[in-house]
């Protein structure tokens, strides 16, 4: 995502913005209409002789903006108008801020004048517009609707019953605020003078071709009593683009995946047609080919708490060489509490001051106002070195999954809270999406959830609806391949249409929580003779998910950068008895790969993973050799790639990340 403009101004505004006190209906003095406002500019007269007032803040009995998120101007010429000066200045809004007009009760026609001088492509700025609480423009994209540096007007009719007309704006995707160059309010005629007739539904929707990561669409033109100005394209019910022509190519898709589309027409007044018929296209499959899609996605988790005892910083991702090999990093974790997304550790996240020695760019953090410190600031620096690297904020995890039950009771409110946190202006440029690690929906983890099989699907649907099509939305999910197990407890297949991919946690099948054994590999790829539990291996989970209809291209195979072990073991092969968990650096029964490769080198393999017995201790873990085999499996199964938990377990030169990257291609 692109950085917000005017960061210093926004930081200062954050401490000053307070809501205006609501007054009862009829408490406003009435301003006379027509009202024409040159947003962000001075008074002027347009080429038709209409007078436009200078912009101003709202005062009771008049009109004006309430909370201003910024303003700007452009010196470039504006296509589609002879009144360039009316479009060359603009105000910026979000958070349902906007304009208030104290007018008499009645029907009014509102016209917004806009221009896109910032985006260089569709999807980079999208916003919603409400008039009197009713959405009149949804995920509106000035660039997609009208093009760059082109006058873009939208007119709608609204009715006032409380003495105040409110026109409000809110971001809905992209990386910049809603933009308004001018706004006018004129008396309506109860519908007689304004265009309220929607266009006809576009017909003939068809798929014109697919690749491994895109689908081409075309449709027949719609008709309108005044004129069609654009078409809105929806994927799985979520708006992905607004175009002026009758064709569109949807990119960034997963290979071997079916996508369903509909199209609606819109006219100059913002009237929206019904959807025509739907069409489904399936992207083609292909060998892996980079982190943008196919089977080459490589993702690693960075833990919030690793900066303390482990002293593992974002800088280590760079110095190990891993940053250049990764396509994605999940930052773990944000909390889920009271059914809402919340900060996990504010100090580690955005307040810890980094010394030059620990900083990605070798520069120490300052205490200047508005400076982003902590891991968020370091991730920003890492992205500057690797512009193609995507960062997702992961919420939940084993410890913080208890809040998902309450979130499932109000998915829309949960999604709103997550969007507000991820898109906080202080760090919105850092994150490209959100990852949900719910352990486990409609099943038990540290706590038990009984929200029902549909709860997970509903939660992911709400997130996709709130974040829009241009954000990454993923989930870490169970790898329980048993009949009637955790995969069967939730509708992962139904939720697949809303996610970019699933991180299937194909590790931690066995461990020293069974203190006396039997010893068993914690991350078996396949079954083997003597496995303690049927269905507790990676291939069982992958096949069960595929069998339910989850596209293979949306499944990432999980790798653990650690081992699990027992002590009091006398047998080298799996299946031995034990007396308890083996000693570990930070926790009994678990140890980083970077330690085990030297302290207890692997002596054998089973089910596609390695094991070793060193004295009385028995460990299982993955090595570069077993990872190569697992990456071959991922490619042969047509999976979307692989991920791992977590970065600090690797060696200082990132040998496990290198093995994964080499194996995926």
Among 439, 591, 646, 655, the one annotated catalytic: 439
Q: How many CA atoms lie within 13 A of 450 on its CB side?
A: 0
Token duo for residue 217: 């669409």
* Strand 555-560 with 501-504, pairing: parallel
For the segment 572-581, the average pLDDT, to the nearest whole number, is 97
Name 131's bridge partners: 134, 167
Name 155's bridge partners: 111
Which residue, 558, 434, 408, 433, is CA-closest to 491?
408
pLDDT of residue 247: 80
As annotated, the residues of the chain forming the CATH 2.60.120.430 domain(s) are 7-187
Residue 161 · residue 215 · CB < 8 Å: no
Token duo for residue 648: 């600090």
Query: Per-residue DSSP letters for 267-330?
Result: ETT--BPPP---EEEEPPP----STTSTT-EEEEEEEGGGGSTT---HHHHHHTT-TTT-SEEE
The per-residue pLDDT for range 482-515, each reduced to its tens digit, is 999 999 999 999 999 999 999 999 999 999 999 9
Q: Is 374 helix (H, G, I), strand (E, B) or coil?
A: helix
Cα–Cα distance, 435 to 63 (Å, whole number): 42
Q: Is 186 exposed, middle or buried (0-12, 13-18, 19+ CB in 10 A)?
A: middle
Cα–Cα distance, 117 to 134 (Å, whole number): 27
What crossing angle do the helices spanning 455-467 and 411-422 adopt, rounded to 10°? 40
Residue in the block written with tokens 């069974």: 514
Residue 189 · residue 107 · CB < 8 Å: yes
The CATH code of the domain at 206-282 is: 2.60.40.10
pLDDT-based confidence at residue 587 (cuts at 50, 70, 90): very high
pLDDT-based confidence at residue 622 (cuts at 50, 70, 90): very high
Give the chain's end-to-end CA distance (angstroms, integer). 26
Q: To the nearest whole number, what is the mean pLDDT of the chain?
A: 89
Lowest mean pLDDT among 191-195, 421-425, 431-435, 483-487: 191-195
Q: What fold, for 7-187?
A: Jelly Rolls (2.60.120)
Residue 617 · residue 565 · CB < 8 Å: yes
pLDDT of residue 14: 39
The per-residue pLDDT for range 97-129, each reduced to its tens digit, is 999 999 888 899 899 999 999 888 788 899 999
> CA geometry: angle at 10 spanning 6 and 12, to 5°?
125
Q: State the DSSP H helix or E strand holding residue 380, giving kind and residue range, or none if neither.
A: helix 374-385
Q: Is 413 helix (H, G, I), strand (E, B) or coil?
A: helix
How far are the Cα atoms of 80, 366, 371, 549 from residue 352, in angstroms, in the given order? Answer: 50, 10, 11, 44
* Strand 164-174 with 125-131, pairing: antiparallel
- Residue 439 a catalytic site member: yes
pLDDT at 8 over 90: no
Cα–Cα distance, 232 to 356 (Å, whole number): 49
The per-residue pLDDT for range 293-345, each reduced to its tens digit, is 456 899 999 999 999 999 999 999 999 999 999 999 999 999 999 999 999 99
pLDDT of residue 288: 30
As annotated, the residues of the chain forming the CATH 3.20.20.80 domain(s) are 297-664
The per-residue pLDDT for range 386-420, each reduced to its tens digit, is 989 999 999 999 999 999 999 999 999 999 999 99
The whole-model pTM stands at 0.61
Cα–Cα distance, 95 to 97 (Å, whole number): 5
Residue 56 · residue 64 · CB < 8 Å: yes
Residue 584 · residue 529 · CB < 8 Å: no
CA 448 to chain centre: 26
Percent of the chain clearing pLDDT 90 (strictly above): 66
The per-residue pLDDT for range 40-58, each reduced to its tens digit, is 999 988 877 788 999 999 8
Q: State the DSSP H helix or E strand holding residue 492, giving kind and residue range, or none if neither.
A: helix 492-495
| CATH 3.40.50.720 is right for the domain spanning 297-664 | no
Residue 535 · residue 485 · CB < 8 Å: yes
């Amino acid at each position: 995502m692109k950085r917000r403009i005017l960061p210093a101004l926004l930081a200062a505004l954050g401490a000053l913005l307070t809501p205006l006190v609501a007054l009862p209906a009829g408490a406003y003095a009435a301003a006379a209409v027509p009202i024409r406002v040159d947003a962000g500019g001075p008074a002027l007269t347009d080429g038709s002789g209409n007078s436009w007032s200078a912009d101003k803040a709202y005062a009771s009995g008049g009109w004006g903006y309430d909370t201003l998120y910024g303003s700007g101007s452009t010196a470039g010429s504006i296509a589609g108008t002879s009144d360039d000066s009316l479009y060359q200045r603009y105000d910026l809004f979000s958070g349902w801020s906007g304009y208030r007009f104290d007018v008499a009760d009645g029907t009014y026609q509102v016209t917004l004048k806009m221009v896109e001088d910032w985006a260089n492509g569709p999807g980079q700025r999208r916003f919603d517009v409400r008039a009197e609480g009713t959405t009149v423009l949804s995920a509106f994209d000035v660039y997609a609707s009208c093009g760059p540096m082109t006058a873009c007007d939208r007119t709608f009719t609204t009715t006032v019953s409380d003495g105040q007309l409110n026109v409000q704006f809110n971001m809905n995707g992209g990386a910049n605020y809603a933009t308004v160059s001018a706004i006018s309010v004129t008396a309506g005629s109860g519908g007689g003078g304004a265009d309220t007739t929607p266009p006809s539904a576009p017909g003939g929707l068809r798929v014109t071709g697919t690749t491994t990561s895109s689908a081409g669409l075309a449709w027949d033109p719609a008709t309108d009593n005044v004129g069609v100005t654009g078409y809105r394209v929806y994927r799985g019910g979520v708006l992905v683009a607004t175009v002026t022509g009758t064709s569109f190519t949807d990119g960034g898709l997963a290979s071997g995946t079916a996508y369903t589309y509909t199209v609606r027409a819109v006219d100059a007044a913002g009237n929206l047609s019904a959807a025509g018929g739907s069409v489904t296209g399936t992207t083609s499959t292909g060998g892996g080919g980079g982190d943008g899609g196919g089977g080459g996605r490589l993702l690693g988790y960075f833990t919030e708490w690793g900066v303390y005892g482990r002293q593992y910083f974002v800088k280590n991702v760079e110095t190990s060489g891993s940053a250049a090999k990764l396509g994605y990093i999940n930052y773990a974790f944000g909390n889920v509490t009271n059914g809402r997304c919340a900060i996990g550790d504010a100090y580690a996240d955005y307040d810890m001051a980094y010394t030059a020695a620990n900083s990605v760019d070798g520069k120490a953090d300052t205490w200047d106002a508005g400076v982003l410190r902590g891991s968020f600031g370091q991730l920003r620096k890492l992205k500057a070195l690797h512009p193609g690297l995507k960062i997702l904020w992961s919420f939940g995890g084993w410890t913080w999954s208890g809040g998902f039950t309450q979130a499932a009771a109000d998915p829309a409110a949960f999604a709103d809270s997550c969007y507000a946190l991820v898109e906080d202006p202080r760090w919105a440029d850092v994150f490209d999406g959100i990852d949900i690690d719910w352990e486990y929906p409609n099943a038990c983890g540290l706590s038990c959830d009984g929200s029902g099989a549909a709860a997970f699907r509903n939660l992911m649907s709400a997130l996709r609806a709130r974040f829009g099509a241009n954000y990454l939305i993923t989930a870490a999910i169970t790898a329980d391949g048993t009949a009637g197990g955790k995969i069967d407890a939730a509708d992962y297949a139904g939720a697949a249409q809303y996610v970019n991919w699933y991180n299937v946690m194909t590790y931690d099948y066995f461990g020293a929580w069974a203190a006396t054994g039997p010893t068993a590999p914690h991350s078996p790829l396949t079954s083997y003779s003597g496995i303690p539990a049927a269905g507790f291996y990676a291939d069982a989970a992958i096949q069960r998910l595929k069998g339910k209809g989850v596209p293979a291209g949306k499944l990432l195979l999980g790798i653990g950068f650690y081992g699990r072990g027992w002590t009091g073991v006398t047998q080298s092969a799996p299946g031995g008895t034990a007396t308890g968990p083996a000693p570990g650096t930070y926790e009994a029964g678990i140890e980083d790969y970077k330690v085990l490769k030297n302290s207890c080198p692997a002596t054998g393999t089973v089910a596609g993973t390695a094991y070793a017995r060193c004295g009385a201790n028995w460990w299982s873990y993955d090595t570069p050799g077993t990872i190569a085999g697992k990456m071959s499996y991922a490619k042969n199964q047509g999976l979307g790639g692989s991920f791992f938990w977590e970065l600090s377990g690797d060696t200082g030169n990132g040998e496990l990340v290198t093995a994964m990257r080499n194996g995926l291609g």
